[in-house]
Structure 1
Amino acid sequence: MKLFVIVSLFTNVLLALGAAQPSLAAPASNNAPADAVITDMAQAFKRGDRKRLTALLPQAKGHLLEPWAAYWELKARLDEASPQEVRTFLSRYPATYQEDRLRNDWLLLLGQRRDWTTLSDEHPHYRMRDDRELRCYFLTIELLEKGPQANPAIADEVRKNWMAMREADDGCTLAADRLFFTQHFTALDVWRKARLMAEYNRPRGARNAVYIVAPEAADAVPEAVNNADKFLATHIAAPQKVRQELVVMALVKVATTDPDKADKLMRSKWQPYLTTEERHWVWGVIGRQSAMRLDDDALTHFARVAHDKDLNDDMLAWKTRAALRAGSTPKWNVVEAAIGVMSAEARRDPTWIYWHARALLARKKITPQIQQEANAMLESIAGVRGFYEQLALEELGRKVTVPARPAAPTGEEIDIARRNPSLQRALYAIGMGLRSEGVREWNYATNLVDAQGKAGVMSDRELLAAAQLACDNQVWDRCINTSERTRVAIDFEQRFPMPHKDAVIARARTINLDPAYVYGLIRQESRFVTDARSHVGAAGLMQVMPATAKWTARKIGLTGFTPDQITDRDTNIAIGTGYLKLVLDSFEGSMPLAAGAYNAGPSRARRWRAPNEGVGPVLEGAIWAENVPFHETRDYVKKVLANTTSYAALITGQPQSLKAKLGMVGPRDAAAPAENLELP
C-alpha cells in the first residue's frame, strides 16, 4: 500500500474515532512510538517470544489495541497461566473479540486436561461457537453427565463434526470413543473415519480412529497409509474384518493418487475378500478420483456400486459431475438419482438444488406435478446473490438486474457503527498493517455483537451502516463481506464497489476487455486490497505472480518494469488486464476458460476443456465450471462469472445473462488461431 493511502486511511480512522466513548478514545495522530510497541508485540507473538511480550505489555497500556497486546501476552503463556489470571483478563476486556478468542483457547486447554467442571462453568459465556473440537468437548460433558440416551441428536452431531475434521483432534475423537463404548456409534462409523483420514494422508488421525475400534491393529495403520503399495503386496488376502479394513484404507490411499492402479488391484485380487459396503466405498473413491481427472470411465467405476447409499456426499457430488459431462447430453437420470441419495444438508446446497431441478425438467415425460416441483426448487434459490441463484433466475425466464437499493444508512446509523469499539479497533489495526487481526475483529463485530458492541446479531440496517463505514475508509474487503451478510436488503453498490473506476475502465476499454469482467475478477482476487499478497507470492489488485508480471510486461511493451512495481496500482492494472486479455484471446473469448486459466494456469485450463488431446463433448459453461477438478478454481470461476454479471448490470443498467457469459465449452476449434502456448 502506498504511503499516501496509509496516511489517508489513518486520517479517516482517526476522524471516526473522534466520536469514541472516553474509555476507548483513539491515540493521538503522533502516537507512532505506541504503535511501534503494538507492531513489535505482534511480531514477538508470531515468533513465540514470551519474554519480549511480557516486557512490552506495560508500554501498550492505554493504546486502542491494548486488548490485542494483552491477548498476545497471555496466549503465549496460557499453558502456564493460572485460572485467576485468565478470568482477570476476561473480565477486563468484556464483550471483545479478544475475550472470546482467549476463552476459546482456554476451553480447548481445559478439554485437553479433562477439567470438565471449569469447562462446564465457562461454557455459557462462550459466544463464538464455531470450533468443532470444542463443541465435541461440550458434548462429551453431556455424555458423561446424562448419557447419549438423554439426547439422541448428540451422536449425529459428533459424527458430523468428527467426519468433517481433516486433522487429528482430541475432542471429537474422545466423544466418538465414548459413543462407541455406549454402542451409539457402530464399528462402521469409526472405520469410515479411519478411511477418510487415510484418504487425506493423515496417518495419526487414522490410527486414533482405529484405536477406538481395534486397539490391537492401531500400530499397523502407519504402514497401511504411508506404504500402501507394499502393504497390499505383502498381506495375504483373507476374510478377517480388521485386516479387511486395513486393506480398504490402503486401497483408498492408492486410489487417491492412481485410480487405475486401484482398479486393477480390486479386480485382480481384493474385491472377493471385501464386504459389499467396503467394495462400494473403494469403488466410490476410485470413481471420484477418475471424475476429478475428467476420465471417460469415471461412471464405469461408479456403476460397480450397487447402492449409492454406501457413498458419502463428496463421492456422490463427483458422480453427479461425471454424469453432467458424460457427452453432449448429460445422463440426467444418473444426476437425479445421485442427488436424491445425498444427505439432507447437501441437498440444500444451491448447486444440487439447481441440477436436481434441471434433471427433473429433462425427463422424457414431464407431468404438471414434475414441472411444478422443479419450478419450486428453482424459485427457492433464484436471485442475484450467487452463481446458481442467477442461473436459477434465468431458468425461470428472468435475467439479472440491479435490485432496488435500500435507503442509505442514516447519519445516526453511521455514527453508531463509528462508535462501535470493535469496529474502531479493526479499522485501526488494518491501518497499522495488522490486517489479519483487523479482519478477525471486524468479522467478529459484525457476526456476534450488535451495533453497540454487545453480544447479539447485527440487523440488516446495522450491517449496511458497518459496510458503509468500511467503504468510506476504503477498506473494501470488509465493505463487501459485511454487505453480503444482509439477509433481505441488497445494496449492489456496496457489494460490487468500483474503486479506481477511471483507471480500470479506461485500461479495459483500451485493450477491448469488458470492464465488468475485469471488476468481477479483481473483486474475487483481492477484494480491492492494493497491497494484497497471497501465500504463493501473487501481489496487488489483480494478484499477479512475479514471473507472470515480468513476462507480461515484455509482451505488452511495458518498458522499465521492475518487480517492486508489482503493487503499484496502475502498473498492476496494466499487467493484470494485459495478461487477462492474452489469456482470453488464447481461449477464443471464453470467460470461464480464461478465469480458470488466470487462477490455475493456462496449461491446466487447456486440459480441462478437452482432456483427451483435443477430443471431447461441447458442454454448457456451467457444466464445465462445475467439473473443474480443483475446488479453489471451481469456486473461483463461478464467483468471477457471477460477479461479472452483477457488475455488467450495474455498469450498463441493462438486464444481464449469466448463461450468455458462460457460453459453451468444448475442444478447440481447428479453424481458430493457434494457441499462445507460451502463456505462463
Structure 2
Amino acid sequence: MTPNVLPPAPSRRFVPYLLFVLLATWLGFAAGAAAASLAEQRTAFRQAWAVAQQGGDGWRSWAKGLADYPLYPYLEEAALEHDVATLDRATVADYLRRYPDLLPAADLRRAWLLEQARRQRWDDFLALYRPGLGDTLTCYRLQAKLAQGGRLDFEKDLAPLWAQPSLPSACDPVLDAAHEAGLLTDARLWARIDRALDAGQGGTVTALAAWLPATEGKAAARLAQALRDPTAAVADAVNWPDSPRHRQAAALALQRLARRDADAADAAWQRLRSRFDFTPAQRNGVLYALALYHATDFDEHALARLADLPAAVQTDTSREWRARVALARQDWPAVLAAIDAMPASQQEQDEWRYFRARALAATGHPLQADALYAQLALEPTYYGFLAADHVQGDYAICPLDPPDDTAREQALLADPGLRRAFELYAVDLPRLARREWARALDGADPATQRVAARLAYERGWYDRAVFAFASGDMLRYYAQRFPLASQDGVVPQAQQAGIDPAWAYAIARAESAWMSDAHSGADARGLMQLLPSTAARVARQNGLDWGGAASLYDPAVNIMLGTRYLAQMAARFNGAPWLASAAYNAGPNKVQEWLDARGTLPPDLFVATIPYRETRDYVARVMAFAVIYDWRLSGKALPLASRMPANGQPYSLPDVHTPRRGVTCPAMPAPAAAAGTDVADPASAR
C-alpha cells in the first residue's frame, strides 16, 4: 500500500465483512476479559480457601463474586468440616441437599458421621449414614445397630468384613459382640487366619488366636510368630508338636527366615526337616525359598540349587534368577541353558533376548548375536537401546501425536466434573483434582479418556497423560509422556548442579511421573521424591534456603534440591549416571556393597544382577528415559553405553559438542513398544 494515502470509503458489499471484523474484535476483547475474570476468581478462591480451612463464615467475605465459580462448594465444605464437632444435623443435611452428588458432600458426610460415632450419637449417625463409605463407617453402623438392641447376622452384616485380612479398630467392638454371640466359629476363625497369613497380617492372627480353643490358639500364635519373628520361631520349633498347624508354622518361619538370612534358614532346615512330617507342598516351598534367596546372595551353590528344583516348583522368578546367577559368573553356556529353561513367553521378554544375544556372541556365534541385536534394536526400550549400541545403529523412536477429536473435547470441556478437576489443578489442589478427575471419567471409554488426558497435558497437568498413555500405540505419544516442564527449571538447575539435564528429567519422570504432590510411604516428597531430612541436609550443604518439608511440593524447590542431591550421588560414583541412579533408589551404601561384591562386571551385567527388583527396574527405566529426554532436548541421543561407563572409570558430562546417536523411525516399528512399562504409580497418588 502506498503510504499516506487514505483508502476509499467502503462500498455496501464490504459492510458485512467490516461488521464481522468488529464482532470478532469485540469477542476477542470479551474473551480476554473472561480470562482475566477467571484469573481473578482463582486468586479469590485461593484466598477464601485459606480462610475457610480455619472454620467459621469469614471465608464468605473473600468469596464475593465466586458464586458461579465451579469450586465454590468446596469453600463451604472446608469451613463446615473444620467446625464439624459443633455442627447440627440440619446444617449438614442442608449442605447435602444442595450438593448431593459432589465429592465435598461425601467428605462432609463422612466427617460428620465419624464425629457422631465418636460421641456415640447413634440416632444422628443413622439418619445420615449411607452404605459404601468404607469399613470404618460400616463397623460404626453395626455398633449403632447393637446399641439400639439389634442383633448381628453373620452373612448379612459380617461376611464382607470377615473377608478382609485386617480391619480398622472401629470393628473391634463388633467382632467382640459377634464372638459373644457365637457367630465366630472355629472354621470361620481359621479361614480368616489363613487370609491374614497370606497377606502377612500377623496382628490379625494374634488377635484371632485368643478366640480359638487353647491348643489351636497356641498353634495360631506360633503362626503369628513365624510371620513376626521367624528367627525365634525356628529356634522354638524343635519343641513344637508335629501337628498340621505347627508344620504350617515351621514351614512359614523357614521361608520367612530365608528372606533375611539364607544360611541360617539352611541350618534350621537341616534341624527341622526330620522333626516335622512336612507335606510335599511345604517341603517344596522351603526348598524354593532357600534356593531363591541363596541365589540373591549369589551363593556358590545357587546355580545348582535353582537348576535342581522340581519343575512343578519353578516360577518365572526362580528361572530368571538362575540366569542372573549365571550372568554374575559370566558363565555364558549356563546363561543360555537358563534362558532355554524359561517358558516361551519369558524368553521373549526383551531382557532375555538381549542376554541371549550377549551369550551367543560370547560363545562364538556373532552372526546369530547380531541378528538378535538388530531385531531388538527396533524397540525403544533400555535393552533395545543397548542392542542398538552393540550394532552401532540409530535408536528407533517413532513419535505420534494424539488424534484430534473436537466433538469429544467440547463435551469434556462442558462436563462439570472435569471442569472442577481442571480448576482444582489450576489452584494447586492436585489431590482433590485427581479425585474429581477419577469421578468424571469413571466408566468413560478409552477414546474419551485419551482426549481428557490430552486436555490435561495442554493445561500443564502432565501426570494425567503419563498414566493414561501407558499402553499400545499410545506409548508413542512421547511429547505427552515425556514432557519438557521448563517452568520447573530442570535444565538450568541441572546445569548449575553440574549434571546432565536429560538425566535429571529422567529421574523426576521415574520418581513421580510429574506428580508434584507425590508422597511415598517413606515420606519422600515431590517431583524428585526427596526425604525432608535429605533435602534439609542438601540445602545446608549448598547454602540454599530451606522452607521445611512442605516446600518440597513446590516443583521449583524440589528440582533445585533434587538436582543437587543427584549431583552428590554422581560424585560418589565417579559421575556415572547409572550407578548414581541405583544409589538414588537404593542408597549409596547398598550400591557400594554390591560393587564390592560384583563391581568388576560390565555395567549391563551388573544392573541385571542387582538383587532388588525395584532398583534393577529403576536403573533400566531411568537410563531409557535419559535417552528419550536427550532426544527431546537435542533431536539426537547420547549413546546409552556412554552413560554407563565401567565401575571406576571417569564419566564426562555431555555437552552440545558430544557425539550423539541418530534417532530414526523404522519402517515397521515394533508394536506397542516405547520405553516400556514405565509407570510405577508413585506412592504419591494416594
TM-score by length of 1: 0.64
Q: Using a 3 Å threshold, how does the CA distance of structure 1 residues 269 and 367 change in structure 2: closer, same or farther? A: same
SS in 1 for 2:509: helix
Question: What amino acid is the match of 1:296?
Answer: D
Name the structure 2 match of 1:409.
Answer: 404
Distance 1:306 1:364 in 2: 29
Q: Using a 3 Å threshold, how does the CA distance of structure 1 residues 364 and 526 change in structure 2: closer, same or farther? A: closer
RMSD between aligned residues: 5.5
Distance 2:390 2:311 in 1: 29
Q: Cα distance, 1:168 vs. partner?
A: 8.6
Indicate whether 1:58 and 2:94 are aligned. Answer: yes
Distance 2:591 2:466 in 1: 29
Name the structure 2 match of 1:449.
Answer: 443
Name the structure 2 match of 1:127.
Answer: none
Deviations 1:55-111 (A, max 9, x none): 4453365559724423652697599899x999x989xxxxxxxxx98899989x99x
Indicate whether 1:36 and 2:38 are aligned. Answer: no
Q: Cα distance, 1:251 vs. partner?
A: 1.5
Distance 2:384 2:195 in 1: 33
Distance 1:286 1:429 in 2: 51
Name the structure 1 match of 2:624.
Answer: 642
Distance 1:375 1:280 in 2: 36
Name the structure 2 match of 1:162.
Answer: none
Unaligned ranges ≥5, structure 2: 1-37, 46-64, 143-151, 172-186, 653-686
Assess if the C-alpha contact under 8 Å between 2:418 and 2:436 holds in 1.
yes
Distance 2:638 2:281 in 1: 47
Indicate whether 1:383 and 2:366 are aligned. Answer: no
Name the structure 2 match of 1:592.
Answer: 578
Name the structure 2 match of 1:424.
Answer: 419
Indicate whether 1:232 and 2:234 are aligned. Answer: yes
Superposed counterparts of 1:295-334, under 5 Å:
295-297=298-300, 299=302, 302-303=305-306, 305-327=308-330, 329=332, 331-333=334-336
Name the structure 2 match of 1:202.
Answer: 202
Assess if the C-alpha contact under 8 Å between 2:70 and 2:419 holds in 1.
no
- 1:287 corresponds, among 283, 288, 291, to 291
Q: Using a 3 Å threshold, how does the CA distance of structure 1 residues 513 and 219 change in structure 2: closer, same or farther? A: closer
Name the structure 1 match of 2:253.
Answer: 250
Assess if the C-alpha contact under 8 Å between 2:339 and 2:352 holds in 1.
yes
Indicate whether 1:70 and 2:98 are aligned. Answer: no
Indicate whether 1:633 and 2:615 are aligned. Answer: yes
Question: What amino acid is the match of 1:624?
Answer: F
Matched residues, percent identical?
Answer: 20
Q: Cα distance, 1:231 vs. partner?
A: 4.1
Distance 2:123 2:408 in 1: 41
Q: Cα distance, 1:520 vs. partner?
A: 1.0
Q: Cα distance, 1:540 vs. partner?
A: 4.0
Distance 2:75 2:567 in 1: 43
Assess if the C-alpha contact under 8 Å between 1:425 and 1:441 holds in 2.
yes
SS in 2 for 1:309: coil
Assess if the C-alpha contact under 8 Å between 2:526 and 2:554 holds in 1.
yes
Q: Cα distance, 1:475 vs. partner?
A: 1.8
Distance 2:304 2:133 in 1: 46
- 1:354 corresponds, among 337, 341, 350, to 350
Superposed counterparts of 1:552-571, under 5 Å:
552-556=538-542, 558=543, 561-563=546-548, 566=552, 569-571=555-557
Q: Using a 3 Å threshold, how does the CA distance of structure 1 residues 228 and 644 change in structure 2: closer, same or farther? A: closer
Q: Cα distance, 1:191 vs. partner?
A: 12
Name the structure 2 match of 1:94.
Answer: none
Q: Using a 3 Å threshold, how does the CA distance of structure 1 residues 420 and 266 change in structure 2: closer, same or farther? A: same
Distance 1:242 1:117 in 2: 29
Q: Using a 3 Å threshold, how does the CA distance of structure 1 residues 297 and 423 change in structure 2: closer, same or farther? A: farther
Name the structure 1 match of 2:433.
Answer: 438
Distance 1:394 1:591 in 2: 17
Assess if the C-alpha contact under 8 Å between 2:489 and 2:556 holds in 1.
yes
Assess if the C-alpha contact under 8 Å between 2:259 and 2:293 holds in 1.
yes
- 2:644 corresponds, among 663, 671, 675, to 663
Assess if the C-alpha contact under 8 Å between 1:357 and 1:378 holds in 2.
no
Question: What amino acid is the match of 2:635?
Answer: G
Q: Cα distance, 1:8 vs. partner?
A: 5.8
Assess if the C-alpha contact under 8 Å between 1:27 and 1:63 holds in 2.
no
Indicate whether 1:651 and 2:633 are aligned. Answer: yes
Question: What amino acid is the match of 2:494?
Answer: A
Deviations 1:253-289 (A, max 9, x none): 3223222211111234536754554333213223333
Q: Cα distance, 1:496 vs. partner?
A: 0.9
Assess if the C-alpha contact under 8 Å between 1:511 and 1:581 holds in 2.
yes
Q: Cα distance, 1:645 vs. partner?
A: 1.6
Question: What amino acid is the match of 2:328?
Answer: R
Question: What amino acid is the match of 1:58?
Answer: D
Distance 2:261 2:307 in 1: 18
Name the structure 1 match of 2:535.
Answer: 549
